[in-house]
Structure 1
Amino acid sequence: MTVALTATATCTAGAARVVSGTPEKPGLPQPVNRRMLVERAGFLTALVQQLAGGLLATAWTERHLDQLAAGVDAEGRRLPSKGWMALRRLGWIPLIPAGVRVPDRVLRAAGEETARALRLALHRSAVTAAIIATWPADPRRRTTDDWALLRRHLPAGTDNATIRNRTRQIASFAARHGRLPDGFTELETPPTISAQVLLAAADRQLVRVERLDGNRARLWVQLPTVPAPASYRDWAWHDIIVPLPPTVAPTAKLCTPTLRLREGRVRLDLPFETVVEAAPLAGHTRAIGADWGYNTLLTAAVAEPEPAGTVVCSGRALRFDAAGVSRKLDRLRAHRETLKTKITHLERLAAGRHSGLDPAAAAKLDLLRQEHQRVCARIRNLGRALAWSGARWLIDQAHAAGATVVYLEDLTSMEAPGSSKAWNRRLSNATRGVLADAVRHLGMREQVAVVTVPARGTSSGCPRCGNKLRHVQAPDNHKPANPWALCACGHSTDRDFSAAQRIAARGLAGQHRTTRNRAG
């Protein structure tokens, strides 16, 4: 079976020209320098952000979310899957400023941004409504009957971490206002619309993309030549050459990109599709099980099934030790929290004064905000690089061991223990989610099946006998701690390695029940 593997390459716009006609009949082309291209792309992103933000603020009500969640329009017809089309079916159209002429395809891009933000809020809204409807007498300690009632109202698949976080959010609102919120939209404000343009929501009347050769692509896109275009004469086709990175194969199919600005340049998130053979779900004779650790990013074990139905694991532990980068991330997260505390303090001072902050404090607040953005960007880039490095290591280990499948712990159920701020920082990051996505992508591209297994009991159960393990400081130090695992059957090894063996055994024993989801 073949599947279309979709990936996204971040490209930077190169040489550009503006034409007086259309891509079919360009007319007289004129070169556009980088400053002018960035300026005109900024006109488009600002216009889409304004239109989408206004529509989102209008639709951020319980009534609008209920209409969207119903999935049908006023005539009972099913809503389309395309977001902008669904909003139009419901009669929700962005409000165009007076005197501004906007092509219909730009309205589609703004509607798609709004629809995605609203659809992402539907699950949170349903969870919030269920918790409010079944609010217990003591939200910190629900009884068995309280949990049973709540589960009947919650959407399917809601995990305990989501319930806990939403309960804390609602309890905080009740403590401030002396009552429960009327709904989700009162509990949360509308999200900020990103400064980007989803060109995929448009068609050939606004954007076209074609490949020139193995290293370059051409993007035709209509951009406004002024900040507030008053007529269609203020819109012009721009011919932009896009250099392609080496990760885009010459045979890959190019899709419509997303346009945004970053660091004074026009960036394009260019999706591309490659047809690959799907790895089999069952019939594996050698596998690698990987466990997400606290101190070590990944700990893996090689396992093979036996004819008797048992699973034999290798005694050699495979570890991806990124302690240096992990400590750097911990320091950056702590620094980010310190900056956020100072920013919040100054913002409260500004809100409590009629005259606002004095010039020196205002300058300090701007400097703190800039530093906070810089640290956040550093954390994202470093975490992404760490995740992809770990994914590459895991797939390489699978090739070296001759394994055809990688079993990963279901990372979505991993929760912060709440014991200290330091541990919460280490567990609440998004690196493990990026890692799982990267392993799936690399595995699909290189014919290695990547399967997630339930995480419950992988660290607490013995991989030999299944009994409960004792977690101690070391083999010769039985003080309760996390690093080492002991069992009455004689099993004694590192806790993460023990969990990796159990994950591999669980995956191989249940491979005949493996199914595919939307992630592959």
Structure 2
Amino acid sequence: MSVNVPMFPGVARLFTLADASATGLMKRSFTTATLDRLASGTDETGRRLPASAHVAAARLGLIPVYPKGLYVPSRVDRMIQANVVSTLRTLAERDTALQQLTSTGSLAASHPKVRAGVAKNLGRQVARHLKDHPDADIASLRLPFLQDAPVPGSRLVLGAVDKQLATLELTPSGTFLVLTLRLPTRVRPTGRGHWVATEIILPIPKHLQDRPITKWHLPTITPHPTKPGIARFHLAYTEPDAPGRDPKTPITSVVGIDWSPSALGVVSRVTAGPDGELSSAFEGHRYEDRGLGIKLFRLQQEGEILSGKIARTGHLSDGLPEDSPVRARLEAKIAIWKQLRSDLGAKRARINRELAFHFANWATGYAQTTGATTIAIEDLSTLGAGGIGRANNNRVAQSARRKAVHATTHLAARAGLEVIEVPARGTSAHCPGCDAELTRPGGYHRARCRACGLEGNRDQIAAVNIAKRAITGQDSLRTDRKTGRKRIKKAAHAPVKRVRRPKNAPTPRLTRHKRVRHSVAPKVVKVAKTIFPAPPASVWDADQPPGTRAPRPPTPDAPVSGSDREP
């Protein structure tokens, strides 16, 4: 949950202190020695590093530094360390992936332990570095050699502090949260008395006021990305989940979700009988986004056009003198275009999030209505589009899939449903009944099996395969201890029998999205129809023997002396 509140002067001063110290700490810590320690998970004495970022930073000696004469509480150091170390751990994983790709002395295009997207991005960085340094040894390349120290995000992680700096309480009415935070009263606080407790009122949205929330956690504060002078408070809360499926109970009813390039997703249901036989009606239901996907694609195209303008104008301005008035006008245009591009990105992010939760509500509601206990989705780490062109690949990337996965997992847990990720490869290429390879007789969206004669929409068949893999691979189901995601890494085949869809089968309920305009149907104006008389019957329409046909009579509109046709 995010709440926007006007930026308090004390919060702005705290941001200034924390950002300056975090930038300096990142520059000092972005070294190969620090990355090696974070990758190994141990300190210099061999002890295991704790999961808490600020405790791990203290163990490694990563201490923030402030200008001389300033007094900053140690709890502020924890927020800065939590912000920096979380970024350094991500960089340590990328550095480990780089060493795996260059372990043979040459850059490998792929590695079994490195994701394809990470390998592609690291390959670009290595190619750019070798272009500037042709004599560099690939085997000795590390991430600090390829890039500068990143700038940590401007955020205050209050979850890393204790009640001496921040507390959060719920009002008796249950509609507001009171955050008590110690903030500096001046730009350069020199003593303990310059840090005063300030109360910040955070309203609770209406859709959360009646929920059985057991605990509210301290928020993370960030500046609003598009509105200056506004602070955004990201709050997490604990809510008891509905009782889900017993792990000892076998999975018998699954709703599969296939990520479609034309729509966000298609759902279909597969059930297992008492004898283990799988059946499905192949009743795939396609999600209707009411044109929001096209709107996202249009916003993406506008962003690409702005990026092209910025690049071309930047090349023009680089060739002009520093004091040239033309260069000043070009740089002013570039600044305006960059602001427009950032605004487009923020708008796309908002629409993607709302679209993801709208889809998750639609899919979860259908699973509840059909009586399914599990939702199966494609594992996005094994899903890679290829051979569809640059424009279509960008369009597929804008479908908010990862956000839809998080939203579906969140809403499904609240409803007592289980979400399982299955391998994505081959779901739309193999028949659910006989596992034979499908053909495309009617184009991309149609699929047909020559072996058993199954024919249908490609996305519907893929949704059945996804649901089937959740049932057949439940013996190899594993839960990630870190993220809690449930995955099946190996696909198993079992024939799915096609059954007749009952007449009273449920269909997903589709609510109108709030970003879609509530248009009013135009009034239908009935116009009196003009009746034109039919032309007189012609002898040419009759079945008469040759030689007995008379010439066609003239019509009243165009009188003629005779017919221009010969009998």
Give TM-score, length-normalised by structure 2.
0.78
> Match of 1:307, SS?
coil
> Match of 1:355, SS?
coil
> Match of 1:415, SS?
coil
Alpha-carbon distance change, 426 to 275 in structure 1, aligned in 2, over 3 angstroms:
same
Contact 1:129 1:184 in 2 (8 A): no
Q: Equivalents in 2 of 1:391, 1:465: separation in Å?
A: 31
Q: Equivalents in 2 of 1:460, 1:288: separation in Å?
A: 19
> Match of 1:304, SS?
strand
Any residues of structure 2 matched to 1:23-422 within 5 Å, and which?
37-136=7-106, 150-151=111-112, 156=113, 158-178=114-134, 179=136, 182-213=141-172, 214-248=174-208, 249=211, 251-262=213-224, 263=227, 264-280=229-245, 281=247, 282-322=249-289, 324-348=291-315, 355=322, 358-417=327-386, 419-422=388-391
Question: How large is the Cα RMSD of the aligned pairs?
Answer: 2.2
Q: 1:212, CA displacement in angstroms?
A: 1.2
Q: 1:321, CA displacement in angstroms?
A: 2.4
Q: What residue ranges of structure 1 are gaps of 5+ in the alignment?
A: 1-8, 14-33, 475-480
Amino acid in the other structure paired with 1:165: N
1:511 is aligned, of 450, 474, 488, to 474
Q: 1:500, CA displacement in angstroms?
A: 0.5
User: Residue deviations 1:289-333, cap 9 Å, x none?
Assistant: 110011021111111113343311113211102262111111211
Amino acid in the other structure paired with 2:57: L
Alpha-carbon distance change, 356 to 425 in structure 1, aligned in 2, over 3 angstroms:
farther
Alpha-carbon distance change, 254 to 95 in structure 1, aligned in 2, over 3 angstroms:
same
Question: Max radius of gyration: which structure?
Answer: 2
Q: Equivalents in 2 of 1:76, 1:511: separation in Å?
A: 38
Q: 1:416, CA displacement in angstroms?
A: 3.4
Q: Equivalents in 2 of 1:385, 1:431: separation in Å?
A: 10
Q: 1:196, CA displacement in angstroms?
A: 1.5
| Greater strand fraction, Structure 1 or Structure 2 | 1
Amino acid in the other structure paired with 2:391: A
Q: Which residue of 2 aligns with 1:20?
A: none
Q: Equivalents in 2 of 1:311, 1:132: separation in Å?
A: 46
Q: Which residue of 1 aligns with 2:552?
A: none
Q: Equivalents in 1 of 2:364, 2:293: separation in Å?
A: 21
> Match of 2:28, SS?
helix
User: Residue deviations 1:413-462, cap 9 Å, x none?
Assistant: 22231542211212334710010011111010111111111112111111
Q: Equivalents in 1 of 2:282, 2:403: separation in Å?
A: 29
Alpha-carbon distance change, 73 to 285 in structure 1, aligned in 2, over 3 angstroms:
closer
> Match of 1:276, SS?
coil
Q: Equivalents in 1 of 2:243, 2:17: separation in Å?
A: 42
Q: Equivalents in 2 of 1:216, 1:122: separation in Å?
A: 40
User: Residue deviations 1:72-110, cap 9 Å, x none?
Assistant: 222222222111111111111112123322111111101
Contact 1:69 1:122 in 2 (8 A): yes
Q: Equivalents in 2 of 1:251, 1:386: separation in Å?
A: 25
Contact 1:161 1:415 in 2 (8 A): no
Alpha-carbon distance change, 199 to 330 in structure 1, aligned in 2, over 3 angstroms:
same
Alpha-carbon distance change, 52 to 361 in structure 1, aligned in 2, over 3 angstroms:
same
Q: Which residue of 2 aligns with 1:30?
A: none
Q: 1:135, CA displacement in angstroms?
A: 4.5
Alpha-carbon distance change, 351 to 202 in structure 1, aligned in 2, over 3 angstroms:
farther
Q: Which residue of 1 aligns with 2:457?
A: 494
> Match of 2:236, SS?
strand
User: Residue deviations 1:255-287, cap 9 Å, x none?
Assistant: 111122322223211111012245224433322
Larger relative contact order (C-alpha < 8 A, sep ≥ 6)? 1
User: Residue deviations 1:472-503, cap 9 Å, x none?
Assistant: 4x2xxxxxx42111111201111111100111
Amino acid in the other structure paired with 1:216: F
| Greater helix fraction, Structure 1 or Structure 2 | 1
> Match of 2:206, SS?
coil
